[in-house]
Amino acid sequence: MLNSLEKRYGFWTAVAMVVGIVIGSGVFFKAEKVIQITDGNIYIGIFSWIASGSIMVICAYAFSILAGRYSKVNGIVDYSEASFGKTYGYIVGWFMSVVYYPSLTAILCWISARYTLTLFGINIGANSTEVYVIGIIYLVLICALNIFAPMLAGKIQVSTTFIKLIPLVLMGVIGIIKGISNGQIVQNFVSVSTDIVTSNSIFGAIVATAFAYEGWIVATTINSELKNSRKDLPKALIVGSIFIVVVYTLYFIGISGPLSVNDFIQGGEDSIKHAFFNILGNFGGSTLFIFVIISCLGTLNGMMLATIRGLYSLSIRGMGPCPKFFSKVSEKTNLPVNSGLFGVIIVFIWILLWYLSNKGFLVCF
């Protein structure tokens, strides 16, 4: 067993981590939510996407400066330790290892399972046992992929990032072109509500879009495995975050091409499906959930990359329980297998807690 991780990833893997983890299933359905909150005001909707995205870009820029100066193991722990001391870095490391990474990974397992059943026309409750079982199967498969084939996992991260961009870019480009040709986009911009714009609608829309930008910081977990971390990671954070804002804004404008704002307000989530049917036909509409599932699984893969390395980032510093045991790196895969298994167990515990809570066995969750 070794103790250091191989520098195996390049610039594009880092960009794929930023873009691939941020773009999940939420963006596909957040657009109609924003239209509902703003009462069909496309101007406020565009502003909310850009405003939330600007916050992400500013934060990413701040972290890019730190990434250019510090490169040990797990960027967020490195930066916390350098800024506020080892104790603070230790607390942040534990939070990321036990709460942040595992809980988001558990949510992605559940969402991926839920959309998989929907794709096959199996309409059962979102909290049914079958959903959780499939979610656990996804957890095991993604974990095995990352532990036993880390290079393949990195390539899959890049591939799924490109795949999930396809429906967003298509809707953005084709939707705008069709909306201009049929006059629907102009109509949606012109038919803005004459009511006074309130802070509730503005900030409500910003809050709705903010979650769609969550997760970019996870890309810093592989800083010690980047071939040129101090050069590539800062660029990846900035390039990736700006690219996401552009794609999200383009997508939001594009969906206003095939349908009116009233269709979105009255149709709910089904209106997004109708928009895809309108733009891409029956084939495009029916494949929406396939892209959503791929998007979820790509994000899940990225979160698993971070989850596996969670406890390792503390153990390699001589912190946490049994640091020698959890800092060991497999000679075959050059990954912290023990740390990875710990992370997967924590994810399973989160899934189990939510399952028991939804079944009424736990009232505290």
pLDDT at 260 over 90: no
Q: Could you tell me which residues come within 8 angstroms of residue 315 by beta carbon, excluding any fewer than 6 positions away?
A: 322, 323, 324, 325, 326, 327, 336, 339
pLDDT digits (tens, 9 = 90+) for 47-69: 999 999 999 999 988 888 888 88
Task: Give the bridge partners for 9, in sequence order.
Answer: 226
Q: Where are the domains of the chain?
A: 11-358
* Across 150-155, average pLDDT: 82
* Across 243-260, average pLDDT: 88
pLDDT at 212 over 90: no
pLDDT at 284 over 70: no
Q: Write the CA distances from 20 to 28, 239, 305, 336, integer angstroms.
A: 14, 13, 12, 23
Residue 194 pLDDT: 53
pLDDT digits (tens, 9 = 90+) for 110-138: 989 988 887 787 777 778 889 999 999 99
Distance between CA atoms of residues 224 and 329, nearest Å: 13
Q: Which of 137-141, 215-219, 308-312 has the lowest mean pLDDT?
A: 215-219
Mean pLDDT of the chain: 84
Residue 74 near residue 223 (C-beta atoms within 8 A): yes
Q: Which residues of 304-329 are buried (b: 16+ CB within 10 A; e: fewer)?
A: bbbbbbbbbbbbbbebbeebeebbbb
Which pLDDT band holds residue 10 (cuts at 50, 70, 90)? confident
Task: Give the bridge partners for 2, in sequence order.
Answer: 329
> What percent of the chain stands above pLDDT 90?
21
* Across 305-319, average pLDDT: 88
CATH class given for the domain over 11-358: mainly alpha
pLDDT at 216 over 80: yes
pLDDT at 1 over 50: no
